[in-house]
């Protein structure tokens, strides 16, 4: 049976949420061979096996090693192999060489996970509050890696010319047409954004909550669709430099970009898309995905609009249900779904992460968390753009209005899309 998230949010006991999160990760790789789980398609991605191991290293290191007297690591060599970027934890295997780790095998990694899970279960009744807080952080950290695991599996399978499917399930969905974009006036004047500690868990980069000024603006009531993106292509969007930022145009020319990642022509003037369930015709009403910040910005300029700022997006999403929409509930095919004519104008979570025009920078008064976990977000506040919302690969209950996803402007292997904004 596929691992499934039965409820969302933080209402369940911590031990139940930990167990379900850990089980879902294993469920996501159930159909993979050891070779599938070992390959690394490009330096920005990691092998599926590495994601399973790194999240286990996190719990073993920061909870069991540091808070359980007498704990002995499952294998001392794993600390070098599966540390990601924590300088405080010492030397580590090079990121771009993770695909060379044929050993430990997928079976051995899953055995390590089981041993760590048993140790966590036994230790939890006696752990101090600081360790329980690290388990909370570790759950959310693993949920991030569940989404990365799916996007990296997709990237790996896309390199195979026989177009394998992780979950070869035929698509059988209606073909609704997306309604025309509606524009919702945004809040203006002094607003507050950022996480309120009274609302529960958040990553350190989501705060402190602070006031800022919003000018009159409107935000689209849905993301841009495949059909609308095809119009951009048909109008020469990728060949007209007037739509593009200088760095974006240089990227288009250098990489010979002509369409979103995983799009391919079907030979009859249409487009196919490669996804976790194989190659299928692109649904015209589904949200376009696997686009870079450069592409999102160029499309917005072509459409006579712009990207929303992080504050505009967050203020529009406050009070909405972040667990609504098309998000990850169980191991199985994930992809943006076709929007219906009656899709809710208040739906801002699910399907695709949405690029904003805002840089990933610290909020006023931001201080990284103490210790090695303080390296988690703050040191990446350079040259990256913020995305908001959640995607079809985001575990349901993981996101919130204040959540700050971030990637470099040329990266597009994630489930990234675009929602437009405009000045009023």
Structural domain contains residue 174: no
Q: Same domain for 150 and 195?
A: no
Q: Is the peptide bond before 208 cis (omega within 30 degrees of 0)?
A: yes
CATH classification of the domain holding 130? 1.20.120
Q: Same domain for 105 and 246?
A: no
Q: Same domain for 95 and 207?
A: no
Structural domain contains residue 167: no
**395-416, pLDDT tens digit by residue?**
999 999 999 999 999 999 999 9
The pLDDT score that the predictor gives to residue 7 is 38
Residue ranges making up the domain that contains 266: 183-423
CATH classification of the domain holding 245? 3.90.1580.10
Query: Span 68-80, mean pLDDT?
Result: 94
Q: Same domain for 138 and 191?
A: no
**118-135, pLDDT tens digit by residue?**
999 999 999 999 999 999
Structural domain contains residue 163: no
Distance CA 152, CA 146 (A): 10
Lowest mean pLDDT segment, chosen from 32-41, 254-263, 265-274 = 265-274
Structural domain contains residue 221: yes
The pLDDT score that the predictor gives to residue 2 is 37
Structural domain contains residue 6: no
Q: Same domain for 122 and 208?
A: no
Structural domain contains residue 5: no
Structural domain contains residue 172: no
pTM for the complete prediction? Answer: 0.92
The pLDDT score that the predictor gives to residue 344 is 52
- Please provide the average confidence, as pLDDT, over all residues in the chain: 91
The pLDDT score that the predictor gives to residue 269 is 77
Q: Same domain for 223 and 113?
A: no
Q: Same domain for 150 and 206?
A: no
The model's confidence at residue 4, banded by pLDDT at 50, 70 and 90, is very low
* Alpha-carbon distances, residue 291 vs 53, 347, 411 (angstroms): 29, 21, 8
For 258, other C-beta atoms within 10 Å of its C-beta total 12
Distance CA 29, CA 331 (A): 8
- Of the candidates 270, 167, 232, which has an alpha carbon nearest to the alpha carbon of residue 420? 232
The pLDDT score that the predictor gives to residue 332 is 84
Distance CA 394, CA 136 (A): 17
Total structural domains within the chain: 2
Instruction: Give 360-374 as a DSSP string.
Output: --PPTT--PPSSGGG
Query: Span 285-294, mean pLDDT?
Result: 96
- pLDDT exceeding 70 applies to what percent of the chain? 94
Distance CA 16, CA 12 (A): 7
Residue 333 falls in which region: left (phi positive, over 0), alpha (psi -120 to 50) or beta: beta
User: Is pLDDT of 313 > 70?
Assistant: yes
Q: Which residues contact 389 (CB under 8 A, 6 or more apart)?
A: 313, 317, 348, 349, 350, 352, 353, 354, 399, 403
Query: Span 371-379, mean pLDDT?
Result: 73
Q: Same domain for 418 and 269?
A: yes
User: Is pLDDT of 9 > 60?
Assistant: no
Query: Span 182-211, mean pLDDT?
Result: 93
Q: Same domain for 108 and 245?
A: no
User: Is pLDDT of 3 > 80?
Assistant: no
The pLDDT score that the predictor gives to residue 10 is 55
Radius of gyration of the chain (CA): 21
Instruction: Tokens for 288, please give them.
Output: 């376009």
User: Is pLDDT of 358 > 50?
Assistant: yes
User: Is pLDDT of 57 > 70?
Assistant: yes
Q: Same domain for 119 and 220?
A: no
Q: Same domain for 41 and 102?
A: yes
Q: Same domain for 351 and 218?
A: yes
The pLDDT score that the predictor gives to residue 173 is 64
What sign for the dihedral angle of Cα 23, 27, 33, 37?
A: negative
Contact 222, 339 (CB under 8 A): yes
- pLDDT exceeding 90 applies to what percent of the chain? 80
Of 269 and 213, which is predicted with more confidence? Answer: 213
Structural domain contains residue 3: no
């Amino acid at each position: 049976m596929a691992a499934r998230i039965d409820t969302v949010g933080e209402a369940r006991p911590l031990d139940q949420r930990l167990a379900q999160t850990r089980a879902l990760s294993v469920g996501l790789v159930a159909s993979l061979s050891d070779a599938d789980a070992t390959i690394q398609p490009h330096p920005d991605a990691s092998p599926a096996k590495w994601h399973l191991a790194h999240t286990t290293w996190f719990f073993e290191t920061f909870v069991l090693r540091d808070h359980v007297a007498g704990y002995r690591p499952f294998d001392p060599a794993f600390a070098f192999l599966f540390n990601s970027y924590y300088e405080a934890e010492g030397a580590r295997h090079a990121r771009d060489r993770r695909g060379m780790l044929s050993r430990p095998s997928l079976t051995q990694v899953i055995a390590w996970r089981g041993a760590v899970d048993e140790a966590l279960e036994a230790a939890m009744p006696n752990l101090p509050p600081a360790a329980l807080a690290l388990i909370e952080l570790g759950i959310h950290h693993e949920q991030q890696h569940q989404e990365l695991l799916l996007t990296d599996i997709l990237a790996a399978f896309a390199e195979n010319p026989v177009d394998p499917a992780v979950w070869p399930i035929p698509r059988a969905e209606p073909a609704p047409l997306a309604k025309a974009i509606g524009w919702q006036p945004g809040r203006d004047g002094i607003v507050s954004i950022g996480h309120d500690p009274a609302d529960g868990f958040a990553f350190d980069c989501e705060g402190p909550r602070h006031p800022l000024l919003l000018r009159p603006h409107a935000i689209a009531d849905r993301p841009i669709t495949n059909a609308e993106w095809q119009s951009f292509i048909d109008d020469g969007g990728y060949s007209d430099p007037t739509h593009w930022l200088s760095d974006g145009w240089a990227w288009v020319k250098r990489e010979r970009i002509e369409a979103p990642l995983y799009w391919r022509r079907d030979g009859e003037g249409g487009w196919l898309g490669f996804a976790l369930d194989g190659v299928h015709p692109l649904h015209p009403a589904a949200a376009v995905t696997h686009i870079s910040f450069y592409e999102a910005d160029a499309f917005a300029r072509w459409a006579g609009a712009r990207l929303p700022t992080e504050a505009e997006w967050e203020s529009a999403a406050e009070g909405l249900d972040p667990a609504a929409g098309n998000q990850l509930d169980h191991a199985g095919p994930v992809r943006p779904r076709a929007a219906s004519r009656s899709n809710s104008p208040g739906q801002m979570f699910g399907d695709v992460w949405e690029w904003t025009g805002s840089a990933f920078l610290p909020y006023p008064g931001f201080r990284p968390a103490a210790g090695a976990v303080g390296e988690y977000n703050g040191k990446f506040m350079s040259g990256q753009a913020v995305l908001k919302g959640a995607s079809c690969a985001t575990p349901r209950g993981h996101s919130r209005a204040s959540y700050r996803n971030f990637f470099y402007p040329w990266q597009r292997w994630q489930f990234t899309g675009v929602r437009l904004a405009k000045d009023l």
